[in-house]
Amino acid sequence: MSRLSQLALADRAGTTAYHSDRDTEVVKFLHGTNNVAVAKEKAVDYRKSQLLAAIPIPPSSGSVKDAIKTTKGSGRKYHEEGILPVWTGSEWTDGMPLALNGFSVPEEIRAQLMSINFQERAFGAYFWTESERRKRLQFSGFHPTDRFLLSRIRLENLGYTLKFDKTFYIWRITGTNAPTAKSP
């Protein structure tokens, strides 16, 4: 239980977050992600691109956080399709290459990271203020924050370091000592 408390305090203090360089990260991880050679992957990629194209373009005056809030209503659909919508400043794209940060990880780790990002958008510390989170969970009787923290602790125990990237508003793997992962 103490690790839950430590992690919650670290989130409140902002020590589990950082800012990345948007342009560098987009070039490094997102250029060429639509170049898929296999026909099946092209069909999946096309479906994902159609879902991403349906997200409204945010106003230029809004923040990335506000832009992502436009995806909130369809969050489960994106999660089920394996899409992590990210606004690059000019377009919506699948942010999983950013979240993986160049690490080659097993599918189960990828799925857990997707789930952590889905949970962050639903009730996370960086996405919602404490009062907004309380309002969202007031009548549910459910304490997803603990489950969210436990998901992150599980990945840490498997050897992955996670940090919240405030540039894209996603949780990213920033390091690993996991034996099955390959570092970038």
The number of angstroms, rounded, from the C-alpha of 155 to the middle of its chain's C-alpha atoms is: 14
Question: Confidence band (pLDDT; 50, 70, 90) for 180?
Answer: low
Single-letter amino acid code for the residue at 125:
A
Question: What residue spans define the domains of the chain?
Answer: 2-176
Between CA 44 and CA 150 the distance in angstroms is 31
Given a cut of 90, whether residue 113 has pLDDT beyond it is yes
Q: 175 CB contacts (<8 Å, ≥6 apart)?
A: 160, 161
Mean predicted lDDT score pLDDT of the chain = 81
Q: What is the pLDDT of residues 49-67, one digit of tens each?
A: 888 888 888 887 778 888 8
CB atoms within 10 A of CB 104: 13
DSSP assignment, residue 56? P
Question: Among residues of the chain, what percentage have pLDDT more than 90?
Answer: 32
Question: For the whole model, what pTM was predicted?
Answer: 0.82
**Measured CA distances, 43 to 37, 38, 40 (Å):** 11, 9, 5
pLDDT at 38: 34
Q: What is the pLDDT of residues 158-173, one digit of tens each?
A: 999 999 999 999 999 9
